[in-house]
Structure 1
């Protein structure tokens, strides 16, 4: 995906091949968020001292390669960035490697992420006011850059992270907790870089594009508090060790705040956002002679319920031409959540991510509505922990599944979108995209 430019390729005819058209829109959206085309305008000049590159996230590999290609060849450059396993793109021929890339686990952290965080923090030692730290931050960094607070083990962080992921907590809530249970997130990495100047270049994967939430904001001030983190832990019934709870109650694990002088002179640039990717897809839709309507790039909520709301809108358009006239494409982004249902005795664990869960809710509520096709997925190329980027819904999705003896309600009961849509060939599989601007959803109504 990084080697081609879908934006320059002709779009398939939406009336003749709706699925191919929707996949083209997805690829255009992803292409808009690739760092090679967005990083350059935000780069500062080389400093008097040295330039250290630190970073984390699922786009880490492509951000590093873009920086290595764009940074002056005669200017020193070194550092360490951690990305997800299998998310380092092929290195372009002739591009020298100046920044070390390592891999770790996502969405549940592992030992490799812990070692990477320890090394990144160690690299900040000895920095001076003449030095520049370029921080490359993208979605997924919260899991990839793991350094538990005093009193917590990696196993504790893994358990808490898993429980948060399955609780239905929003990304803002999850990252509030992560920041206060870390020695490197929530602005602490920037504090460790003092007195060097820090410039953060980030790709947004969160509603509202707040750098303090992206990857739990390791280089930016944190306005949330220990009390906020405690309230979230209690809301979702997540236990932490008693000594850690005591530290949260006393404020001992508080993060650097917006008025902290440690951030003076620092800069943060959001180089790619979900809205920009949705707008890129909308331009292709209009060029194909259809109307494009972007609902929002900040949608949150339970994935299947958001799917039902989208279905109600698409049915209104298909049946009554309201609130939009046909033919059109309805686009949305953001980050929905999935609450994992308790398994019944002997029931196999379901598979799937936010996109698949959205599509189950969508397909059920559409009820086979003629003239409506849809695609929902994650712009990083991985929906949840599976190998698919997203999932299609067609007017005959329910009928084709029923012909194979599958009931949608059974799969919804166990959060098993991957099996349901995989059995009827409705998975979109692209491999890692090497960027991440979160959920992408497109509904084509003809």
Structure 2
């Protein structure tokens, strides 16, 4: 196998091992939901796959359900469950309408009833009933994306501008019980932050939200500032929560595949949290340090990097990471760096991520592409496309952050 073929195999198999089907099945099989009515609500990028598994397991025991996921992620009808596609990373009219349908579904439940709430990353945009105008909500989301705020900071602000985030959805379900099954996309699995915690008590405070607004100089209306000062639920007696998967599983899966391919795997971290370009340069530095080693090595870093927008190009954090690494590993033999989003999407592109090896910079130079200027323009997609470095998986049905891998192959 070539290095690129090995990279594709690692991506394919590690993602396969963190698909939500088996995890959801473990959470639901054999569980007694009592004598009341049972409803399913699935929200997030992995919602369709999670909902399909729930429908297969619960069958006629389920009264009805709703699935809300990203455009292009519904792969067919699900028995007993209505499927909606909506906007991500910015909520749109379909997000709001689908959320209203969910609130109608759970609006008049009894104390014996249960809502099985299947939650995955992306829910912050897909599941939304705003307490500010939709135009202002879109503007605030755009500001948070552009300034480099991390996902925890974004959700600390957004949950206070919503009628369903920060535990408020669970309050809407009362007196019914909520059984929340979560596929985590946030480092460390903070349950109140995943999709902005619709069914979990909120640990963030008004003071923290206001600090974030000040830190990034967000332009906010007086109404929004007032909402940031309004506290969220701090306890929910009707909710039980279980985490079914996270980036830790993704890193372990990648390490297992690397080992099968003959590499000695090392998981550097499952909490990578820095600029994408810096992460790429760091992996390149590790590659340089281990060129003299006689055994094949794989270094794995899971997490979620950030991109600061300095240009108007097309790309995503995983593509920027790979392209930034290309500079440092230029000329290194049998060395590659690749990074992918487990959901199969990276930024507003059709790529899951990017791949580079010791020849990538030379290829781009021949094509007249300068890596530094390309990164300044945030145009990693076009550069990697020209170099044959895009990783295309399509929607995967899961969402547990990203994984970046450095391969150093020795014969």
TM-score for the superposition, normalised by structure 2 = 0.96
Aligned match of 2:125 in 121, 140, 143? 143
Aligned match of 2:240 in 248, 267, 280? 267
Residue 227 of structure 2 is aligned to residue 226 of structure 1 = no
Residue 234 of structure 2 is aligned to residue 284 of structure 1 = no
Q: Tell me what 2:297 maps to.
A: 328
Pairs within 5 Å for 1:309-328:
309-319=282-292, 321=293, 326-328=295-297
Pairs within 5 Å for 1:119-198:
119-149=101-131, 152-198=132-178
Shift of 1:36: 1.5
C-alpha separation in 1, matches of 2:226 and 2:82: 38
The farther-off stretch of 41-50 and 331-340 is 41-50
Residue 333 of structure 2 is aligned to residue 370 of structure 1 = yes
8 Å contact from structure 1 (residues 211, 217) kept in 2: yes
8 Å contact from structure 1 (residues 88, 434) kept in 2: no
C-alpha separation in 1, matches of 2:45 and 2:60: 28
8 Å contact from structure 1 (residues 89, 434) kept in 2: no
Residue-pair matches, total: 407
C-alpha separation in 2, matches of 1:378 and 1:27: 12
CA offsets per residue over residues 377-410 of structure 1, 9 Å max, x none? 1111111110011111111000000111111111
Residue 95 of structure 2 is aligned to residue 113 of structure 1 = yes
8 Å contact from structure 1 (residues 375, 443) kept in 2: yes
Shift of 1:279: 1.0
8 Å contact from structure 1 (residues 26, 281) kept in 2: yes
C-alpha separation in 2, matches of 1:405 and 1:419: 12
Q: Tell me what 1:41 maps to.
A: 26
Shift of 1:101: 1.0
Shift of 1:265: 4.7
Shift of 1:48: 1.0
TM-score for the superposition, normalised by structure 1 = 0.88
Aligned match of 1:84 in 70, 76, 79? 70
CA offsets per residue over residues 342-385 of structure 1, 9 Å max, x none? x4xxxxx2100110111122112323322211211111111111
Partner-residue secondary structure (3-state), 1:297: strand
Q: Please, which runs of 5 or more residues in structure 1 have no aligned partner?
A: 1-15, 344-348
C-alpha separation in 2, matches of 1:364 and 1:230: 39
Partner-residue secondary structure (3-state), 2:315: coil
C-alpha separation in 2, matches of 1:245 and 1:285: 49
C-alpha separation in 1, matches of 2:196 and 2:109: 23
Q: Please, which runs of 5 or more residues in structure 2 have no aligned partner?
A: none
Partner-residue secondary structure (3-state), 2:272: coil
Shift of 1:227: 1.6
Q: Tell me what 2:45 maps to.
A: 58
Residue 54 of structure 2 is aligned to residue 67 of structure 1 = yes
C-alpha separation in 1, matches of 2:359 and 2:67: 45
C-alpha separation in 2, matches of 1:167 and 1:212: 23
Pairs within 5 Å for 1:204-219:
204-219=184-199
8 Å contact from structure 2 (residues 186, 401) kept in 1: yes
8 Å contact from structure 2 (residues 340, 402) kept in 1: yes
8 Å contact from structure 1 (residues 105, 112) kept in 2: yes
C-alpha separation in 2, matches of 1:391 and 1:412: 13
CA offsets per residue over residues 84-135 of structure 1, 9 Å max, x none? 00001245xxxx6111110001111111001111221222211111001110
